[in-house]
Structure 1
């Protein structure tokens, strides 16, 4: 039963035989386990397409078997890498491509084994440094502890060993604890380093140039929308003239309405103007509050008083702030506002002058 259950973990489907190429395994793959495990027969069939000997490829160092990373593990990993690329490209690989991938994959597996001496050295260092306090990873026993003592193992009350034997066992326990703690950090780092190096070596190897180009073309075909959008945007900006490009409406205020020229109004020849007023006749006609009212009779002082009254009313109306005047229309430019303000100031000074003359004469 055990042998039968073990065979169920492998795919027994035969591989087609290609000369000088590797046939990809194209049977359905479980999405939850995309890295499919190959049978020993399939591994031998994939690696049998190598035109170089296995001994000529990068070999594992002597300490690799200490962590179950032996030759069998390396062969299975290399065959899986070759088959994964064949499945991705949906075509058998050529002999030179198989040789290049096998060499790069063996090199990546050797890089992963460099973790072992580094972990052992780091664990030995931390074990030796904490020998006086018997420090463990993330924990240091207290000297007044009622259950821990380096002279008794595992506890003071229920101890099995004592004396030098207990101290040696506690030292070994601390060393193993440091190895486990350091591997939790170092193993992902070394795996990432090996995988990144594997990908870079594939991109740099001239024997795999056509294979890399095929993979890049497949990637472009999978996402055509994003590239078309990026290509269309600069082309649209270049083809569209500046005058036709949309502009924000709030930056282009409306042009003020055409003002009627004062020279077009010939009714002023019958008006009774006062040459003493600093405001011109055209401005007084344009502003009804400042324009003078012609009188058939009366002295010049009465007309001046009437002008002063109308000028004061105009200055009050123009000096006040009206929120609706600015929000109803955007044609009221800054130059018109400054002009009206200057006229109002001149009119105020003229009114003050008339008032002083009137008081001095009375």
Structure 2
């Protein structure tokens, strides 16, 4: 009977604790859905640009076949492959030089030229295989064209996996560390009841946020530089772009993470819940939906939209672009604008919340 009474007591506690029940049932389902869709490895919507300088019936047939294949999003552009890859407007560029058809028929040395962005080596290998298969199917009627094209892998010709994963790990660690560092600032004041002292000090909410942000930004900025330098030295990741641009983007992303942590700190009731919230909004989304491991192009539309709402997605594009492709500021304007927008939004909402808390503590 005592055991039965204890069981009834625990069941009543569980029934009233709806937060635990939500975590128990909803979180595993969300993880299952995210992992199931995010781990889709088959390429979808391959961005393919075709330069048809041959302009023969065979080249037009090849272009039409590739355009009609649902795997490919075929575009026409006059820009060179390097510029298309830098702007993320293509994953592969197929060039048909003048005389390609005649060379294929006569067994000459002018073949279709396929350039592939290998900053994601696994996807690049798969993309090249699909395109070569499609080309071979069209050219199967020409006996001498047993080799339809030879792919050239740009930015990572040896397809080193470290060149892809080290920037992703860097993005994850910086966001987690900066958000966790700053997520305890305001909750510490709330738990200790010192928000009244902040109000009596005649500091504005913006000054309070600034005073809490700057020390953590300096500390997290140093940590970010150390993490990036260690990744480059230990794994041999190259730097083909401007070092000052790389440091600037790194510090902007660090500021974004600090601002996110301050926003979490202004919302969370306790330091423990602030740490948990910071981990939930940085670890799993960055790991699964930012392009760190799984390409966004292979995900369903809803997950792609969530991925594009994450700061880590844009930082990863900047980091890989600067380090592997040598991207410049003009080629990274959309990504830098997104990071700046995230930072301003987090700071604005955090400041409004701090003002509300200071008024409530009076």
Q: TM over 0.5, yes or no?
A: no
TM-score (ref. length: structure 2) = 0.24
Structure 1 or 2: larger strand share? 2
Q: Greater relative contact order (Cα 8 A, min sep 6): structure 1 or 2?
A: 2
Which has the greater radius of gyration?
1
Structure 1 or 2: larger helix share? 2
TM-score (ref. length: structure 1) = 0.24
